[in-house]
Amino acid sequence: MRGIIGPVLTFLGAFLIAVALLSKFYMGDALLKTPINVTETISLDGKALTPNQKGKVQEVPVLAWSIYHTDTALSDSNVASFQNSQCLVKDIGSPTGCVSSDDPQNRLLSATTDNFATDRRTAEAVNDPAHLPAGSTPHEGVINKWPFLAEKKTYTFWDDGTQQGVPATYAGTDTRDGHEVYVYDVQVPKTKIEVAAGLKGYYTDDKQIYVDPMTGSVLDQREHQVRTDLQGGPVIDLTLGFTDAQVQKLVDDAKANDKTLTLIRTTLPIVGLVVGIPVFALGLFLTLRNRKPKHSADAPAAPTASA
């Protein structure tokens, strides 16, 4: 029985060391990739100042949805291809989703679609036609998330209004439900764009994005966007952010994902090496000691030489 203790401990120690090394240098790194089976709806609410049919500016509550869906046929091991639909409506009659352009209550404010692809590790835009439908607009910077292990620095962020990358400046840390987030500030100066279908005007945007440092997931967003015609007449003055329920769900998901990544990237390597190395050394010592030759006490004495 004693003879097998050494080999068993040696095997156990080697196993723990192997798990530690695999967790540190393979599994943990392999998990830092955007999944390609995403179907997610982000819910937002807020208010908008917009002229009614008589030209009088009125404040109305608004709801918005941003739906992300990965196109598995255009995604691969390195790139995730996304389809995104966004809709903004007046909160009249408690709509549960986007309404049609001929809605009898005239609730639809805007509806857009977009296709883009991102690197599954860095979250940066990828404009390879192999990962995009024909006719897709080239993008730049991060779009729907930040990279894993986000840094306290300025990133290029895709702005839908201007259809170009703008600086997203690191502005400090904050918390959401006790969970630390990095805050990035986006300031789009007054820019001439198409502010509504067929209408040229000016656009500004003031946006704060709250990011989970580990996964790069956007957990909250607050935005103040203003659009006017070329003469400065109001088109829409929009204040919008993730709903409280949406933030709570995203924070809960981030906490669970962070725990999993920390377990695999940090806890398992430390425990595996701290426990595995001594166990392996003890097992090797016992194995080698048990292999030493034993001298029998009953062995005949060597003959002495004759005088």
- Give SS3 for 49: strand
What's the pLDDT score for residue 306?
Answer: 45
Does any domain span residue 279?
A: no
> Roughly how many angstroms between the first and final C-alpha of the chain, as a whole number?
49
299 domain-assigned: no
Whether 15 is covered by a domain: the verdict is no
The boundaries of the domain holding residue 94 are 26-146+154-261
pLDDT at 293: 61
Per-residue pLDDT, 285:
74
pLDDT in the model for residue 174 = 98
- Give domain status of residue 115, yes or no: yes
- Note whether 158 and 139 are within 8 A (CB): yes
* pLDDT grade for 229, boundaries at 50, 70 and 90: very high
Which of 213-227, 257-271, 287-301 shows the highest mean pLDDT? 213-227
Counted domains in the chain: 1
In a domain, 44, yes or no: yes
Task: Give percent above pLDDT 70 in the chain.
Answer: 86
| pLDDT tens-place string over residues 8-37 | 767 776 776 777 666 566 555 667 899 999
Q: pLDDT (tens digit, 9 = 90+) per residue, 152-179?
A: 999 999 999 999 999 999 999 999 999 9
Q: Is residue 300 part of a domain?
A: no
Residue 267 inside a domain? The answer is no
What gap in Å lies between CA 133 and CA 163, rounded to an integer? 18
pTM of this prediction? Answer: 0.84
Per-residue pLDDT tens digits for 272-297: 677 767 866 776 777 777 776 655 44
Looking at residue 35, its pLDDT comes to 92
In a domain, 184, yes or no: yes
> What residue type is assigned to position 276 of the chain?
G
Distance CA 183, CA 221 (A): 9
